[in-house]
Amino acid sequence: MTLSKTHPRYQSLCIRERLTDGVRTGITSQTGLIAHGRGEAFDYLLGERTTDSAMRSEEAAVAMLLAASHPVLSVNGNVAALVPGEIIELGRVLNAAIEINLFYRTEERVRIIADHLRIYGAAGMLGEYPDAALHPLPPEHPRSRVCKGGIYGADVVLVPLEDGDRCQALVGMGKSVIAIDLNPLSRTAKAATITIVDNVVRAIPNMVELAIRMKDIDADRLDDIISRYDNEEMLRAAIEEIVTRGVGRV
């Protein structure tokens, strides 16, 4: 389908098209489309832009990833379809490992995503050969399967579009978890150490820019940014943003 750039929902329709292409090529799951629908509704309510509070969360997240000793960026089917080049670039600038980690894992899908990311320049990516399980999730469950040298051993994990159970499992294992989730009310948003209430298509490029700007700042300054950050305050700010915008429109 050819989309007109003047269409008021042009950006949103382009994102949908990338995801439906992702389903066609086996990168994105059908449930990934439903998850996107939930996110899209919140994005509409937030004005489809990076709010000031989201930018503050992105800054704190980059500080935390730069200060980490073993940072890992988790990639699922939606992220691989929407921001493949950008997530690889973020890993490169932050010197963070990339691990493919799927909620609906099949070996075929992992291979397709890995090949797709390699086209965008990924090298040494993890997730194709998981050798550890996230507890307390059942070890036989595909969504618990991770790599010892990746998510399992990480001190800080970035999980765009995570589900509440896995987010809680990661936090329970003592990790700092950075979630990107447009729904400030989700279990993930509440459980994460830092929640970025923004669309991954804006959040990841913003974080690349921030990482380039912040990568030489010293450890004390990074600690200062992290310690001043208050996740509950940022979630409240996102909810207020939705309410204020809504009231202004009726």
Residue 162: closest CA among 138, 140, 134: 134
How many amino acids of this chain bind ligand ATP (CB under 6 A)?
Answer: 17
Minimum CB distance to ligand ATP, residue 136 (Å)? 16
d(CA 43, CA 41): 5
Residue 54: closest CA among 227, 181, 167: 181
Note whether 42 binds ligand ATP by CB under 6 A.
Answer: yes
**For ligand ATP, the closer CB: 42 or 229:** 42
* Helix axes 200-214 and 84-94, enclosed angle (nearest 10): 20
Which strands sit side by side in the sheet containing 194-196, from one edge to the other?
97-100, 71-75, 156-160, 176-180, 194-196
Note whether 186 binds ligand ATP by CB under 6 A.
Answer: yes
Point out which span in 32-40, 49-57, 86-94, 120-128 binds ligand ATP (CB under 6 A). Answer: 32-40
**For ligand ATP, the closer CB: 34 or 123:** 34
Helix, coil or strand: residue 77: helix
d(CA 234, CA 87): 23
Binding test (CB under 6 A) with ligand ATP, winner from 93, 170, 180, 226:
180
Helix, coil or strand: residue 175: coil
Residue 86: closest CA among 104, 72, 100, 73: 73
**For ligand ATP, the closer CB: 89 or 181:** 181
Note whether 237 binds ligand ATP by CB under 6 A.
Answer: no
Note whether 155 binds ligand ATP by CB under 6 A.
Answer: no
Residue 216: closest CA among 109, 12, 66, 1: 66
Point out which span in 50-58, 109-117, 160-168, 206-214 binds ligand ATP (CB under 6 A). Answer: 160-168
Point out which span in 60-68, 146-154, 175-183, 210-218 binds ligand ATP (CB under 6 A). Answer: 175-183
Note whether 187 binds ligand ATP by CB under 6 A.
Answer: yes
**For ligand ATP, the closer CB: 149 or 164:** 164
Note whether 199 binds ligand ATP by CB under 6 A.
Answer: yes
Note whether 192 binds ligand ATP by CB under 6 A.
Answer: no
**For ligand ATP, the closer CB: 38 or 70:** 38
Point out which span in 91-99, 109-117, 124-132, 186-194 binds ligand ATP (CB under 6 A). Answer: 186-194
Tokens read off for 213: 């700007």
Which residue do the tokens 């089917």 mark? Answer: 77
